[in-house]
Structure 1
């Protein structure tokens, strides 16, 4: 009878404890999400995949040089006309270009003026705009013959291109070329918070002087550090100058402008697979006074909370991130076994393999395009098996980890109850023992 009474007493205490827990213990009063199940989420609320995008072909960012080269204002010609510009016994000057890949040239440097003409002795000006170098030489020879300055049979002339016209542009980058991913930052590992995107961006600026026929987006990027790094947006913004000069005005709505204006050109660096080029060669051509800007990424982050560490974490720029991976990034555990329930002992090890389950209820709070808010419920156990449950993380998402009711009960037993059972059931066939527990 004593053994039977002891067992009944123990069972009675357990029953009373369960009733007490259901009556309002803190472990069961934590908030539980009541949102839309992730696998039932409509398509318009799903995050878009960034991995589906492909890099813009590099040859799309380069202009095709004109063939043949046509002269215009800003070009410098090397001209020699025996008896008018240079003598037979005079050594011709040799010119080595400082810009571009042109070969060395000979002749006296003569620039093409704003009117598209060159000024020469005895014939005043000769129009050469729009001509090739060979055509310009023919025009200069004809000018001296038609004005009876030199005879055709004795005329000796030479025209070369000393320096092609150039475009002076500015390149401003806020991507810190060559920077590594944020998770390598020591402050992320030690203090539990990744640095914000704005703190990691580092502005650099350069002034370039490019041959006008070779001034394009690809050249500007190649000469200033290459393609934008992971801290930059996937686009290049070109602020156009007016006739080589900025008008110096800033529109009142410049912060709200999300599309290109006539003076702003946006070139995407990642595009939909199989899509046609949505910009022209004239869009990627740079002119004097243009400013090429590589903008930083400022808002591509997600937030964690609840049973996860409270953090602001940058999203990968060119790779998809799903909720399970997002949890692991901040140190969350998935199916790691948890901790042992209570302190069961029986002369060595009694129930030592009983373990506590991890929280599996993840609430995703997401903003909609119309600036509303939707709550999404993710079952992490199902997310490990079903890709539809393992949602893509959208910029601005808040991930809050919680417990299900059954997990709360399990944790309650593990953290609140303290059992000490010394039983001889298996050794002697008796059920004598003692138990102690503490209630909330």
Structure 2
């Protein structure tokens, strides 16, 4: 028999159900309303899996230092100490010879004290001495320069006595002006440091990457990349500096299926006439040198001696790791987290770092609004936790690629527990059946129990 109260009760039940569905949709029921597509992690191509940083080994620091050589080779910028009895300084044969002055180097020099008067080695190694025409000592050792000076004076009968022999020593070695730019050098983990610039005067046989790093804070720290960039401005003609730098900095990394390089005519850069080069190939090799400080095991570092030698005007740069972050959203607490520099972080570790417990019925209640309402209530009553993780991965060309990771499979199969890469965005969501289960549980315990008691 029809009950007159059944129609209002039915209307109230429908209203409560509609309210429950609305609350559920607003509180995390998103996989049904706004689905995301992604390629399963097990089907990813190798180039999208990333690299394991923990397997990298440091490059031996000895490869960052230049070979000093057995003998010092003279060139422009050196200063010689020269003493020639009776000539430099001049004195008559009847007078008592003037003793040579003794020169002590400054505290930053490793040179021993020298004797004589300063003589600068000029461009192309030219030296000017009293009573002689200018001649070159470029490429000679100090002993060879002494012999050359003695021969020049003896050939003009200026020095007749075999007992009179020039005293030649190195008073000051030539230096290179090198600029070092470092980001976050020595800053604490997580601290926002600023770029620091250093202007160094390095003796020619100490002008190398190792000395430049040692004098400006040591090897790169946690907040810096394991890589050193050297801008060889000493090789770039000044009038074409902007042109070459634009070619270096404007190169884009192509995506799969696109042309790998852009060919530029030789008229655009100072190379051999009629040749063509790749804008991120030969140009970079000539004017921008990248020296990695960690490499995969078994890989031999291809670091040439000329790569670590610094010339006058060169710029050394150690870049910051400020872009090496991953981001979280969805049912994960939204945030930005730094990636480890020297070890690996997989998706399960990234979820734990973001504060999301794995398969915990009480977790997931703090992120993205997904833990409130029906979803949070259902999980509190024994419902399921979200197990579908989407990774939005940035490609080098600027595009994005969606990866789907089943958290349950990732816990049992390492092929699904892939590595997190810089720039990744991790979005945790429910699977459709998980949302329906939580919706049913939440609806029953919220409205179904109350209706039972009403009856």
- Structure 1 and Structure 2 fold alike (TM over 0.5): yes
How do 1:111-126 residues align onto structure 2 when only pairs under 5 Å count?
111-126=120-135
How many Å separate the matches in 2 of 1:242 and 1:375? 44
Residues 162-191 of structure 1 show CA distances to partners (whole Å, capped at 9, x for unaligned) of 111111111111x22122322xx6xxxxxx
How many Å separate the matches in 2 of 1:371 and 1:156? 70
Q: Does 1:377 align with 2:369?
A: no
Q: Does 1:210 align with 2:219?
A: no
The structural deviation recorded for 1:308 is 0.9
Inter-CA distance 140–34: structure 2 relative to 1 (3 Å threshold): closer
The structural deviation recorded for 1:253 is 4.2
The structural deviation recorded for 1:409 is 4.8
Instruction: State whether residues 201 and 296 of structure 1, in contact with CA within 8 Å, keep that contact through their aligned partners in structure 2.
Output: no
Q: 5+ unaligned residues in a row in structure 2: which ranges?
A: 1-9, 253-279, 364-379
For 1:171, what is the secondary structure of its paired residue?
A: strand
Q: Does 1:176 align with 2:184?
A: yes
The structural deviation recorded for 1:82 is 1.0
Q: Does 1:237 align with 2:261?
A: no
Aligned length: 382
The structural deviation recorded for 1:204 is 0.6
Pick one of 323, 341, 360 that aligns with 2:347: 323
For 1:70, what is the secondary structure of its paired residue?
A: coil
Pick one of 127, 135, 149 that aligns with 2:136: 127
How many Å separate the matches in 1 of 2:43 and 2:132? 83
Q: Does 1:39 align with 2:42?
A: yes
TM-score of the superposed pair, with normalisation by structure 2: 0.74
How many Å separate the matches in 2 of 1:62 and 1:148? 46
Inter-CA distance 147–358: structure 2 relative to 1 (3 Å threshold): same
How many Å separate the matches in 2 of 1:176 and 1:316? 16
For 2:80, what is the secondary structure of its paired residue?
A: strand
For 2:393, what is the secondary structure of its paired residue?
A: strand
How many Å separate the matches in 2 of 1:214 and 1:310? 49
TM-score of the superposed pair, with normalisation by structure 1: 0.76
The structural deviation recorded for 1:161 is 0.7
Residues 20-47 of structure 1 show CA distances to partners (whole Å, capped at 9, x for unaligned) of 69x9566474215553332343434322
The structural deviation recorded for 1:282 is 1.2
The residue that corresponds to 1:430 in the other structure is: none
For 1:209, what is the secondary structure of its paired residue?
A: strand
The residue that corresponds to 2:370 in the other structure is: none
Inter-CA distance 250–244: structure 2 relative to 1 (3 Å threshold): closer
- Mean CA deviation greater in 46-55 or 71-80: 46-55
Q: Does 1:30 align with 2:30?
A: yes
For 2:352, what is the secondary structure of its paired residue?
A: helix
How many Å separate the matches in 2 of 1:208 and 1:248? 25
Q: Does 1:366 align with 2:383?
A: no
The residue that corresponds to 2:150 in the other structure is: 141
Residues 249-273 of structure 1 show CA distances to partners (whole Å, capped at 9, x for unaligned) of 3234443236315322222222232
The residue that corresponds to 2:423 in the other structure is: 396
Inter-CA distance 172–372: structure 2 relative to 1 (3 Å threshold): closer
The structural deviation recorded for 1:159 is 1.1
How many Å separate the matches in 1 of 2:339 and 2:101? 59
The residue that corresponds to 1:347 in the other structure is: none
Inter-CA distance 267–246: structure 2 relative to 1 (3 Å threshold): farther
Inter-CA distance 112–375: structure 2 relative to 1 (3 Å threshold): closer
The residue that corresponds to 2:65 in the other structure is: 62
The residue that corresponds to 1:257 in the other structure is: 251
Instruction: State whether residues 232 and 314 of structure 2, in contact with CA within 8 Å, keep that contact through their aligned partners in structure 1.
Output: yes
For 2:176, what is the secondary structure of its paired residue?
A: strand
How many Å separate the matches in 2 of 1:368 and 1:135? 58
More helix by share: 2
How many Å separate the matches in 2 of 1:165 and 1:372? 50
The residue that corresponds to 1:300 in the other structure is: 324
For 1:384, what is the secondary structure of its paired residue?
A: helix
Q: Does 1:163 align with 2:172?
A: yes
Inter-CA distance 112–371: structure 2 relative to 1 (3 Å threshold): closer
The structural deviation recorded for 1:414 is 6.2
Inter-CA distance 83–393: structure 2 relative to 1 (3 Å threshold): same
How many Å separate the matches in 1 of 2:117 and 2:36? 82
The structural deviation recorded for 1:421 is 12
